[in-house]
Structure 1
Amino acid sequence: MPAALNSYSALAAASLLATLALASPTPVERDAITKVAIRQATSSTAISNSNQLAAAIGSFSADFQSLSAAVTVGEAIFTQIIPAPGPTGMAQAQAELQEITSANPGDIFKSGYEILLNGLAGGDYAQIANAYLLESNTMNVNTRQPATPIYPKASPNDAPYSLTEQQLRQVIYIPPGFTYGRIPPVLFLPGTAAVAGQNFGPNYGKLFAQNKIADPVYVNLPGENLADIQVAAEYVAYAVNYISGISGGKNVSTISWSAGSLDGQWALKYWPSTRNKTSNKIGISPDYHGTIEAQLLCPGVVTPGCTPAIAQQNYNSTFIRTLRNNGGDSAYVPTTNVYSIFDEIVEPQQDPNASGALNDARKVGVSNVEVQAVCTALLPGGEFYNSHEGVLYNALGYALAVDAIQHGGPGQLSRVNATYQCAQFATPGLSLADIFATEALIPIAAFDILAFEPKVASEPPIMPYAQGDTPK
């Protein structure tokens, strides 16, 4: 979730372009998108230096040397994909584009705008479009039944579900090549204001599938994971049991970004059946202690930026205190957490008080890795590019995730070539187009937050099954 929304209308305009460009296209729309893609001609080459990476998240293209060029691309999308707005609407859109493109080149939302117009093109365009249009599906039909029933409870000790089994199952997107246990399955859990396909398709999902590291499964939470995290955890708990149940009883791993790690930790705490079916829990930029930045969006009154999940992520919220109480601040399964001091969303995120760290009271094995503690802030693997979303393409983080999956977790620095990984500007195998798509998570999240209803003034009440853990 963004640290601040200084201009709601500007962010909405920028993010709307992404939403339009990524909607399921008709043949006419597809032609329009293709024209824009060809015009932009984004490179799909590997990232080998800081200038290339800066192009992905900073002032990127000659197209943005003037407002007219930016508006030309914006108008191409507006006029060829949806009916053109009236003169007043277009004038307003142009004014908002001017505001974005005249911002500081390092501003995250200007970067996001450039990503939206430049990123989804080039050699990886089809793969990225697949991540957004197919792997992000929230209405799936999964007819295969688990070997043993897992609903209404897989274990007598599990918390009750408030959702039907159909609701729980339909958010699980299983790619056509899924091997049902021949390759270790991994569940991708999205962050706040994201769905799993767009979150992981252009990074971990692509690499795992290509390299046969693990079998990706995307858990696409309704409402872009902006609703009650307690309900999101129900989807996660069910998905763990379901995928294991249709994969010959093989254990699964979970990889989560941001608040997806809270979804997973809540599921492990209150659905104990998931623990002996989970080999690894891997958190990228997690916020197990919430973030002080959430106060900006949820100050205690209804605001355009306050959704239930964001209110729950206030540092030391009732939800966070309930989760962490009675052992929830420690891992339940082998866990690998990777985070950065340059996280613009989660604070604090610096050792020894990083929100992304977990304790290991159960002695299951935990690796808490601040990338700058390994790479320093001077090497590519630790530079400021490694932001909240940037850790998704951090080479050291990816190497630790692979190590955890291949060795049963947690990821160990002693087993990876940290010197090599820290020298990488991005995980080998990812292209500029992949980085664009990953960076686009932030401006798209801004739009999703503004669009989500209903807005709230405070967090949802704690579910009855967890109220015994709420500190008095």
Structure 2
Amino acid sequence: MPSIAASLAIGLLAGSALATPTPAKREAVTSLAVRQDAKITDTNLLEAALSSASADLASLASRGEAILNDVVPTATPTAISQLADEFKSINDTTGLGDILASGAKVLLNGLAGGDYQQIANAYLKESSTDNSNPRQPIRPVYPKASPNDAPYSLSEAALRKVIYIPPGFTYGRVQPVILLPGTGAVAGQNFGPNIGKLLMNGEIGDPVYVNIPRENLADIQLAAEYAAYAVNYISGISQGKNVSTISWSAGSLDGQWALKYWPSNRQHLSNAIRISPDHHGSELEPLLCIPGTDIPGCTPAIVQQAYNSTFIRTLRNNDGDSAYVPTTNIYTIFDEIVQPQSDPNASAFLKDARGVGVTNVELQSVCGAVAPGGSFNNNHEGVLYNALAYSLAIDALTHSGPGSLARVDTSAECAKFAADGLSLADVLATHALIPLAIGAILVYEPKNGQEAPIRAYAQKDIPA
């Protein structure tokens, strides 16, 4: 499909050009006509929308490759400056150039510098599952912060040591933001090259990484214990101030289960911001796991994420499919892991039976499927660096209630390939989450394709 190939080429052109540099003739820059009025909400309309822009997309991808092929072999300061200028001219019409120019500068300078140092920290430090956190909360949070909380099956030491608190953490001066990873990831590698980096460089949120052991592939009910404890503990060592959470993928299930069965979390959580969540599971789960088998994908967490699994149905029952705190859900129809993810039946969608405030945002309903903020690169992991998603997260962190599209410049954010402050290196590191998750899934043991039994405290919610 030529239009799909052209769209993917934009996201990958820098990597492919650097890998196979060949002389290329420079061509005039072709303006990309972005259809801001294309509100595409189902995949059946996608190809028709892309075909209208395929010629411009192909020309832009060819132009970008030509620029890199011409400049990379020399890599002189003048050439690097020229590269940035060339991408600036592309950015004027597409919003893509800033991030490519930033990433190209890093790559041309020997794969070194701040971006790669930060990514290394995300893997080596921020992903630690064995941390020393001696500070005691101002109130006891274990064995229970509230009589109504479910019991923990893990020790407090086990729950606390997976929390990585960066050296610059302000203990309440800046709002703490707890980062919960998706299936097959730990929080450092999950968020370090995207949202974590952006928060660290600002004064809006103070990131904390909850590195759930075994890459969050074990029983989600166990993962929820880490999420529940982290909310109460971080609030307790931050002068009792409320915290917020940002989660990716199944990290959102961890957080929702924790809010349902550890109600003490609700009074200490200002916002739940969820990227590519699967509150209703995924119809694609059989591709990774055939129930009753022990094929490579049948880890406990993946079995539980089958659409309408016992776990998912238990979570949704008795208004568990509604928010418990102000919640912002951001998702994409191009999600290659979670489906359906198109409105009105998106797996990410949450109701608001409690009236706490919920914002459900399908990217393509706002940006269309041609603008950079809504195109193919915005897949399951791509939403982590999406500019509109980050703007909604910041809006939620700086206002009461969930993020609001009315307070965000949607046209400006949809025109960006990624959130301001991220480089091409960050984007590529974010997309690496999927192959890394596949590797973690392959080596996970034991696998048996059977759902973990619902814990005693939740059995009342198992649907008939």
Pair in the same fold by TM > 0.5: yes
In the alignment, what sits opposite 1:205? 196
Residue by residue over 1:93-134, the C-alpha shift from the partner in whole angstroms, topping out at 9 and shown as x without a partner, is xxxxxxxxxxxxxxxxxxxxxxxxx89934311010000000
Contact 2:8/2:376, CA 8 A, preserved across alignment: no
Q: 1:420 to 1:463 in 2, by over 3 A?
A: same
Closer, same or farther in 2 for the Cα pair 1:451/1:370, shift >3 Å?
same
Deviation at 1:456, TM superposition (A): 1.8
Rounded to whole Å, the distance in 1 between the matches of 2:378 and 2:116 is 23
Inter-partner Cα distance in structure 2 for 1:435 and 1:442: 13
Check whether the contact 1:50–1:380 (CA below 8 A) recurs between aligned residues: no
Partner residue in 2 for 1:40: none
Contact 2:289-2:296 within 8 A present in 1 as well: no
Deviations 1:230-288 (A, max 9, x none): 00000000000000000001000000000000000000000000001000000000000
SS of the residue aligned with 1:131? helix
Structure 1 counterpart of 2:211: 220
Give the superposition deviation at 1:142: 0.4
Does structure 1 conserve the Cα–Cα contact (< 8 Å) formed by 2:352 and 2:358? yes
Q: Deviations over 1:304-349 (max 9, x none)?
A: 1110000000000000000000010000000000000000000000
Give the conservation status (yes or no) of the 8 Å contact 1:371–1:382: yes
Does 1:371 pair with 2:349?
A: no
1:410-443 CA distances to partner (integer Å, 9 max, x unpaired)? 0000001001000001111100000011010000
- Distance in 1 between residues matched to 2:21 and 2:154, nearest whole Å: 47
The one-letter amino acid paired with 2:302 is I
Who is 2:376 aligned against?
Answer: 384
Contact 2:318 2:461 in 1 (8 A): yes
Equivalent residue for 2:150, pick from 126, 145, 159? 159
**CA distance in 2: counterparts of 1:218 and 1:470, whole angstroms:** 31
| Equivalent residue, structure 1, for 2:122 | 131
2:33 — aligned with what? none
What is residue 331 of structure 1 aligned with on the other side? 323
2:171 to 180, 183, 190: 180
- Unaligned stretches of 5+ in structure 2? 1-6, 23-106
CA drift of 1:64 comes to 8.8
Q: Does 1:238 align with 2:229?
A: yes
Q: Which residue of 1 aligns with 2:53?
A: none
Query: RMSD of the alignment, in Å?
Result: 1.7
Name the residue aligned to 2:262. Answer: 271
**Higher RCO by CA contacts (8 Å cutoff, separation 6 or greater):** 1
Larger Rg: 2
Measure how far apart 1:297 and its partner are. Answer: 1.8
Would the aligned equivalents of 1:192 and 1:445 in 2 still touch at CA under 8 Å?
A: yes
Q: Determine the structure 2 residue equivalent to 1:55.
A: 13
Letter in 1 for 2:118: Q
The structural deviation recorded for 1:59 is 4.0
Asked if 1 retains the 8 angstrom alpha-carbon contact of 2:186 and 2:216, the reply is yes
Q: Retained in 2: the 8 A contact 1:291–1:345?
A: yes
Aligned residue number for residue 289 of structure 2: 298
Number of aligned residue pairs? 371
CA change 1:52–1:297 in 2 (3 A) is closer
**3-state SS of paired residue (1:381):** coil
TM-score by length of 1: 0.77
The Cα shift of 1:61 comes to 3.2
Determine the structure 1 residue equivalent to 2:250.
Answer: 259
Matched, 1:449 2:441: yes
In structure 1, runs of 5+ residues without a counterpart are 1-48, 66-117
Q: Secondary structure of 2:352's partner?
A: coil
| Correspondent of 1:437 among 429, 432, 444 | 429
Conserved in 2, the CA contact under 8 Å of 1:50 and 1:425? Answer: no
Query: Contact (CA 8 Å) 2:139, 2:236: kept in 1 or not?
Result: yes
- Partners of 1:60 and 1:193 in 2: CA distance: 30
Give the drift of 1:361.
Answer: 0.5
| Aligned match of 1:400 | 392
Q: Percent identity?
A: 68
**Corresponding residue of 1:5:** none
On the 8 A contact 1:193/1:224 being kept in 2, the answer is yes
Amino acid paired to 1:400: L
Residue 121 (1) aligns with residue 79 (2): no
Deviation at 1:54, TM superposition (A): 2.8
User: In the alignment, which of 445, 460, 464 is matched to residue 452 of structure 2?
Assistant: 460
How far 1:55 sits from its partner (Å)? 2.9
Question: CA separation in 2, counterparts of 1:60 and 1:330?
Answer: 46
Contact 2:359 2:404 in 1 (8 A): yes
Following superposition, the deviation at residue 60 of structure 1 comes to 4.9
